[in-house]
């Protein structure tokens, strides 16, 4: 019940050991392109024209990624000229990340010789910081230091029968060991919210779960759209899922059986250990960065596949600093994308493994990756842009 991790000064434990360069921009991109061992993020939104609430959410995402235990130290550069909102100022982001005890350096083109000067200084700093980080050794720590986030996607009926239950087994095991586990996708508990709310640790948490669903369902109704033309998405329907309710009832199996300790917003850090529901949106370019900002040191994508084509390459970079594992229970998906998939639980459907045996194998896979074995997606450079979950209008 242990893995090999990097112990940080605030007591959290990383499964990786990166130097993070934020936010997006030519300075961060140039530093990351030049220096090994760094991570940056891609976004299409810098906060310009965003409301104060949404700017704070962007800040929460950036600060959270900086504080993630997989990050050894951080470089923050002053963002593009013109985006001077107080929430997003480099000094503010740097101060809040530094509160975790990490080294944080700030680059400011205004005082560092312009964009060119900031890039040169950033490269020099990043090289030193990466080298310093490399001196840290992994040590054996308990599973209570694992913090997981999950999404199920391209769901088909294998997801509800075997894939999500395998995640559920893993989640129960990590939570029982004192660790932290997050699930979410509010749209995709519509029709299953009573079953989820029954598992809340307190009546207040149950209320918060039902409230989160009511808000999303009201928005769906107000849209005037037939939800069946939106969600389940075409690949779900192709995979045998007939309604949003059926999708939801299969989806909640990934949450296991532990009590739900709280409801979190996007990129919000849990107050303690245990299982949490996150009021977030299903998009994989959105959800995983949010989990990583909340402190996840490893994330999982449970894939249905619903008829993916042969020789499919699955990429997975939207978790930025958290290793990203692909799992599936669909034998066709596994056959089509074997070199991308970290864990297969279709054995349960085929009858060659019990759900418990598959769950134990999943746990061992997670421990190996947490301890340094690369997730398949980590063998690629390819990086996807992050679609931050912002809900207010732009002006």
Which positions touch other proteins (CB under 8 A)? Answer: 156-158, 160-161, 187, 190-192, 195, 216-217, 220-228, 237, 239-240, 242-246, 249-250, 306, 330, 332, 349
Output the smallest distance, CB 23 to other proteins, in A: 35
| C-beta of residue 136 within 8 angstroms of C-beta of residue 72 | yes
CA distance 87 to 65: 16
Output the smallest distance, CB 217 to other proteins, in A: 5
**3-class DSSP assignment, residue 205:** helix
Output 250 or 316, the one with its CB closest to other proteins.
250
Output 221 or 364, the one with its CB closest to other proteins.
221
Nearest to 347 by CA among 368, 362, 337: 362
CA distance 75 to 129: 9
Output the smallest distance, CB 242 to other proteins, in A: 5
Q: Strand pairing of 260-264 and 274-278?
A: parallel
CA distance 133 to 233: 43
Provide the 10 A C-beta neighbour count for residue 224. Answer: 6
Write out 131-146 in H/E/C secondary structure. Answer: HHHCCCCCEEEEHHHC
Nearest to 316 by CA among 248, 372, 386: 386
Output 235 or 371, the one with its CB closest to other proteins.
235
Output 68 or 236, the one with its CB closest to other proteins.
236
Output 64 or 250, the one with its CB closest to other proteins.
250
Output 96 or 217, the one with its CB closest to other proteins.
217
Output the smallest distance, CB 250 to other proteins, in A: 7
Residue with tokens 């296991």, as numbered in its chain:
256
Output 7 or 195, the one with its CB closest to other proteins.
195
Output the smallest distance, CB 215 to other proteins, in A: 12
Output the smallest distance, CB 243 to other proteins, in A: 3
Residues in the chain, total = 395
Residues 6+ apart with CB under 8 A from 196: 189, 209, 252, 255, 260, 277
Provide the 10 A C-beta neighbour count for residue 235. Answer: 17
Output 123 or 241, the one with its CB closest to other proteins.
241
Output 224 or 310, the one with its CB closest to other proteins.
224
Output the smallest distance, CB 357 to other proteins, in A: 17
Q: Strand pairing of 139-142 and 2-7?
A: antiparallel
Output the smallest distance, CB 304 to other proteins, in A: 8
Q: What is the DSSP string of 340-392?
A: G-SEE-THHHHTSS-HHHHHHHHHHHHHHHHTTPPPGGGG----PPB-----S
Output the smallest distance, CB 227 to other proteins, in A: 4
């Amino acid at each position: 019940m242990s893995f090999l991790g990097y112990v940080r000064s605030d007591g959290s434990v990383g499964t990786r050991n990166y130097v993070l360069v934020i936010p997006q921009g030519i300075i961060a991109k140039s530093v990351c392109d030049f220096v090994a061992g760094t991570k940056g993020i891609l976004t299409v939104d810098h906060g310009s024209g965003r409301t104060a609430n949404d700017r704070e959410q962007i800040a929460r995402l950036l600060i959270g990624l900086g504080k993630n235990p997989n990050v050894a130290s951080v470089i923050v550069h002053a963002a593009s000229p013109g985006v001077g909102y107080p929430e997003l100022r480099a000094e503010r982001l740097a101060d809040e990340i530094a509160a975790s005890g990490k080294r944080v350096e700030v680059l400011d083109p205004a005082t560092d010789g312009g964009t060119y000067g900031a890039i040169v200084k950033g490269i020099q700093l990043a090289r030193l910081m990466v080298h310093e980080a490399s001196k840290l050794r992994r040590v054996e720590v308990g599973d209570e230091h694992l913090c997981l986030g999950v999404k199920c996607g391209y769901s088909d009926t294998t997801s509800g029968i075997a894939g999500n239950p395998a995640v559920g087994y893993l989640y129960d095991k990590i939570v029982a060991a004192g660790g932290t586990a997050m699930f979410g996708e509010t749209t995709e508990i519509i029709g299953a919210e009573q079953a989820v709310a029954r598992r809340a640790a307190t009546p207040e948490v149950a209320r918060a779960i039902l409230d989160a669903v009511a808000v999303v369902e009201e928005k769906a109704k107000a849209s005037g759209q037939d939800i069946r033309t939106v969600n389940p998405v075409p690949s779900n329907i192709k995979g045998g899922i007939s309604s949003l309710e059926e999708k939801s009832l299969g989806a909640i199996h990934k949450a296991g059986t532990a009590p739900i300790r709280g409801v979190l917003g996007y990129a919000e850090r849990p107050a303690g250990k245990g299982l949490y529901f996150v009021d977030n949106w299903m998009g994989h370019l959105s959800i995983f960065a949010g989990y990583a900002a909340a402190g996840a040191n490893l994330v999982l994508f449970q894939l249905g596949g619903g008829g993916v084509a042969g020789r499919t390459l699955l990429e997975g970079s939207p978790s930025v600093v958290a290793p990203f594992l692909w799992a599936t229970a669909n034998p066709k998906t596994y056959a089509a994308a074997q070199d991308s998939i970290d864990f297969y639980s279709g054995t349960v459907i085929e009858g060659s493994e019990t759900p418990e045996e598959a769950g134990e194998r999943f746990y061992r896979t997670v421990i190996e990756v947490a301890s340094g074995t690369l997730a398949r997606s980590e063998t690629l450079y390819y990086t996807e842009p992050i679609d931050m979950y912002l809900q207010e209008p732009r002006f």
